[in-house]
Amino acid sequence: MSGPGTALIVGASRGLGRALAAEYARRGWHVIGTVRGEQRTGLHELAEKSAGRVTIETVDITEPQQVSALGERLSDRTLDLLFVNAAVTRGNIPIGEVPEEMFVEVMVTNALSPMRAVESLRALVAPTGTIGVMSSRQGSIALNVNGGQDVYRASKSALNQLMRSYAARYADAAHTLVLMCPGHVHTGLGGPDAPLSIDESIPRVVDTLERHRGEGGLRFVNYRDEPVAW
Ligand SMILES: NC(=O)c1ccc[n+]([C@@H]2O[C@H](COP(=O)([O-])OP(=O)(O)OC[C@H]3O[C@@H](n4cnc5c(N)ncnc54)[C@H](OP(=O)(O)O)[C@@H]3O)[C@@H](O)[C@H]2O)c1
């Protein structure tokens, strides 16, 4: 399966999500990107220059009613790719010192909400389409030998586990499922010392998603299409 299609990228205001929207549009796809709130973002700038190829929807993934309303607004569309990119980090605090509200916020935003979005929006995805979620190497339990970023790591591990349960629950569906690690990239979340630029990561993220298109099943891979240990 190949050729441009339609992608919904959830969390596309800036950083990797905005770059994903730009890269898919550059490859001829129709892209629906989401932002939160009313503020003008980098996605608005991209949409204005896209000759209608990039359109903008508004959703906060932690608000289930907003997610279902988005699904209703898009009910006449068929997606070749649903990609949930949104996540937050709240700093490198050892677990014993993490306030409960912070733990809940990060887990709800990074693990529960992406899965709710996938459950809610999967009906829009073409039978052989792809559902991707931005994970991270930091979510790998096997590779965690240095610790740090306790809550963020735990949220991505939870996301991975929930995606495995999702894959088992919908084993009869032909959707291709991808947990993606984009590498450590210089963004608001990745920080200024990250070794990779957005341009070194995102085209390869898209190449990897494209390579697995139509395959079915679930994989946890990085931007170089290498499997990441669970
Ligand atoms: N950068 C890295 O090195 C790296 C490495 C591994 C994995 N990742 C993952 O890659 C993804 C993107 O990261 P990034 O580096 O591009 O981060 P970023 O620059 O901080 O961007 C995060 C994006 O998520 C959106 N978002 C956050 N909470 C949301 C919510 N409740 N509802 C809807 N959108 C929400 C933000 O929207 P607003 O503009 O409205 O805040 C923004 O568009 C994340 O899943 C992150 O965990 C990043």
From 85, 107, 133, 143, mutation site for ligand 1 pocket: most ligand atoms within 8 A of C-beta: 85
Per residue in 30-84, pLDDT (tens digit) is 999 999 999 999 999 999 999 999 999 999 999 999 999 999 999 999 999 999 9
Per residue in 82-105, pLDDT (tens digit) is 999 999 999 999 999 999 999 999
Predicted pLDDT at 1? 57
Contact 184, 196 (CB under 8 A): yes
Predicted pLDDT at 2? 75
215: pLDDT strictly greater than 90: yes
* Ligand 1 pocket check for 5: Cβ under 6 Å: no
* Ligand 1 pocket check for 108: Cβ under 6 Å: no
Q: Considering only CA atoms, which residue is closest to atom 10 of ligand 1?
A: 134
Per residue in 159-191, pLDDT (tens digit) is 999 999 999 999 999 999 999 999 999 999 999
* Ligand 1 pocket check for 53: Cβ under 6 Å: no
* Amino acid (one-letter) located at 42: G
Three-state helix/strand/coil letters over the chain: CCCCCEEEEECCCCHHHHHHHHHHHHCCCEEEEEECCCCCCHHHHHHHCCCCCEEEEECCCCCHHHHHHHHHHCCCCCEEEEEECCCCCCCCCCHHHCCHHHHHHHHHHHHHHHHHHHHHHHHHEEEEEEEEEECCHHHCCCCCCCCCCHHHHHHHHHHHHHHHHHHHHCCCCCCEEEEEECCCECCCCCCCCCCECHHHHHHHHHHHHHHCCCCCEEEEEECCCCECCC
CA of 87 to the centre of ligand 1 (A): 4
Predicted pLDDT at 129? 98
Average of per-residue pLDDT across 204-229: 98
Per residue in 26-41, pLDDT (tens digit) is 999 999 999 999 999 9
